[in-house]
Amino acid sequence: MHSKINKEQEELFKNLPIPRALLKMILPAVASQLIVLIYNMADTFFVGQTNNPYMVAGTSLILPVFNISLCLSGLAGIGGGSLISRLLGQEKEEEAGKVSVFSLYLAFCISAMFALIMGVFMEPILLLLGAGDNTYAYAKQYASCVIVIGGVPTVLSNVLSNLIRSIGRSREASAGIILGGLLNIALDPLFMFVIMPEGKEVLGAGIATCLSNCVALLFFILVLAKMGRGSVISFSPRRGLPLRSSVLAVFGVGIPSAVTSFLFDLDYVIIDKLMVSYNDLALAAVGIVLKVERFPLNVGIGICQGMMPLVAYNYSAGNEKRMNDTVRLSRRLGLGVAAVSILLYEIFAPEFSRLFISEAETVSLASQFLRIRVLATPLMFMSFFTVYLFQAFGKGHISLFLGVSRWLVFNIPMLFLLNNLFGMFGLVWSQAAADSLTVILSLYVYKHFRPSAGIAAYNAARI
């Protein structure tokens, strides 16, 4: 049976007024981004309620490894999702169905291998991350649940969300992530403080996270079942293998996405490592700011996720005007959110800081840091907005160049440079300084290397 998208999705991509089409795609994506942000904070919050610093440290050690598993989901989800939208724009729905199967089995194999490696080499990996006598047991409990047992459902649910969004079903794509996030927030205190005995709170948090991701995966499987056998997105290997060019296209966009996500996390790790050399209050303050600044950034990422399938489809279909109008409106929305966040954070910086801590000196320092860091918000949005655009165009090599340039050429070196020149506040100013250069590079690259939708459609017709 040939794979298909229904008339509603076709109307969304082709004819629905752009503001309405964008709202249908963006609002669910933004909602899921905010829920994910809140539930990521929830684990830290509930473990912190134990007042056991070793439990907090043990779970924190696993965060970089957990983030690597999310990078793996970007490889198959972003790479496959971008290509599926472009293939639909070229009316190659059967090939899009084959790409969906390939992306899902790729995600399963990579995440299973990652979980197996973590399970077999748990001890040396945890020791390498810095686990000691007081934190090793807690780190092992958490890693066993969220990576060894829960790694495959976590990755698959994120990949399915991206693939389902790629065919215009943003509401269903986001609903599964929101369900998993809300369930995790509800199950954390239940497992930590009611079901599990005292001293096993970290294990309870890990079980709650694992169960939540399993439920999210089950939700997406039910969505696929409801969509029917002929849906573009499918687990069925009977669809056959995609073309070699399609496989290369998945990796061409997916690998840059994974690398960029990894470098983003590395940047945060380096900020913490450099800030801790000043004092514990400075580390606590910047930790609060890095959490608070994520709200407008995650809204911006949601805008990009919602925009990407529409841009990819119309780029491949040769509809230059609709593609450009979508890009312009999305950019205005993102910059509008950034402007509002600057206004709110400049005025209410102490109030936002007190949401996380009440100690006066830390609140004062966090407020100063936040008022500086928030100035970089529009620059940060423009930086990853351009990367998402080139992913939509299928130009993975350009998105990789922009991502690597942002982190390895500008951001991370700027951290060390301004830290040496200006100390603690140099670290805080580094984001605005680095992303000013990133935006200049991004605009230059976009102006000179943005592909034409008309050429894309012409090339597709020749294949």
For position 277, what pLDDT does the model report?
A: 80
Which residues, 6 or more positions from 58, have their beta carbon under 8 angstroms from its beta carbon?
A: 131, 135, 136, 137, 138, 139, 141, 142, 202
For position 97, what pLDDT does the model report?
A: 93
- In which band, very low, low, confident or very high, does the pLDDT at 7 lie, cut at 50, 70 and 90? confident
360 or 338: which leads in pLDDT = 338
Measured distance CA(413)–CA(397) in Å, rounded: 22
Average pLDDT, the chain: 88
Domain ranges of the chain: 16-242, 251-463
For position 260, what pLDDT does the model report?
A: 85
pLDDT of 276 > 50? The answer is: yes
388-416 confidence digits (pLDDT tens):
999 999 998 999 999 999 999 999 999 99
- In which band, very low, low, confident or very high, does the pLDDT at 2 lie, cut at 50, 70 and 90? very low
Q: Answer for the pair 45, 353: CB distance below 8 angstroms, yes or no.
A: no
For position 459, what pLDDT does the model report?
A: 54
| Backbone φ/ψ region at 199: left (φ over 0), alpha (ψ -120 to 50), beta | left
Pair of tokens at residue 228: 């029917």
218-239 confidence digits (pLDDT tens):
999 999 999 888 889 988 888 8
For position 5, what pLDDT does the model report?
A: 59
The DSSP bridge partners found for residue 4 are: 231
Q: Answer for the pair 88, 5: CB distance below 8 angstroms, yes or no.
A: yes
pLDDT of 279 > 80? The answer is: no
Side-chain half-sphere exposure of 361, counting CA atoms within 13 A: 6
Q: What is the mean pLDDT of residues 165-173?
A: 91
pLDDT of 458 > 50? The answer is: no
75-125 confidence digits (pLDDT tens):
899 999 999 999 999 989 999 999 999 999 999 999 999 999 999 999 998
For position 463, what pLDDT does the model report?
A: 44
In three-state form (DSSP H/G/I as H, E/B as E, the rest C), the secondary structure along the chain is CCCECCHHHHHHHHCCCHHHHHHHHHHHHHHHHHHHHHHHHHHHHHHHCCCCHHHHHHHHHHHHHHHHHHHHHHHHHHHHHHHHHHHHHCCCHHHHHHHHHHHHHHHHHHHHHHHHHHHHCHHHHHHHHCCCCCCHHHHHHHHHHHHHHCHHHHHHHHHHHHHHHHCCCHHHHHHHHHHHHHHHHHHHHHHHHHHCCCCCHHHHHHHHHHHHHHHHHHHHHHHHHHHCCCECCCCCHHHCCCCHHHHHHHHHHHHHHHHHHHHHHHHHHHHHHHHCCCCHHHHHHHHHHHHHCHHHHHHHHHHHHHHHHHHHHHHHHCCHHHHHHHHHHHHHHHHHHHHHHHHHHHHHHHHHHHCCCCCHHHHHHHHHHHHHHHHHHHHHHHHHHHHHHHHHCCCHHHHHHHHHHHHHHHHHHHHHHHHHHHCHHHHHHHHHHHHHHHHHHHHHHHHHHCCCHHHHHHHHHHC
pLDDT of 211 > 60? The answer is: yes
Q: Answer for the pair 393, 451: CB distance below 8 angstroms, yes or no.
A: yes
Q: What percent of the chain has pLDDT over 90?
A: 58
pLDDT of 422 > 90? The answer is: yes
Measured distance CA(81)–CA(312) in Å, rounded: 10
Q: How far is CA 120 from CA 109, 140, 335, 399, in A?
A: 16, 12, 46, 34
pTM higher than the cut 0.75: yes
The DSSP bridge partners found for residue 231 are: 4
- In which band, very low, low, confident or very high, does the pLDDT at 462 lie, cut at 50, 70 and 90? very low
24-80 confidence digits (pLDDT tens):
999 998 988 888 788 777 776 787 777 777 887 778 778 778 877 878 788 899 999
CA angle 450, 258, 214 (to 5 degrees): 125
17 or 7: which leads in pLDDT = 17
pLDDT of 1 > 50? The answer is: no
Of the chain, the end-to-end C-alpha distance in Å amounts to 23
Q: Answer for the pair 166, 85: CB distance below 8 angstroms, yes or no.
A: yes
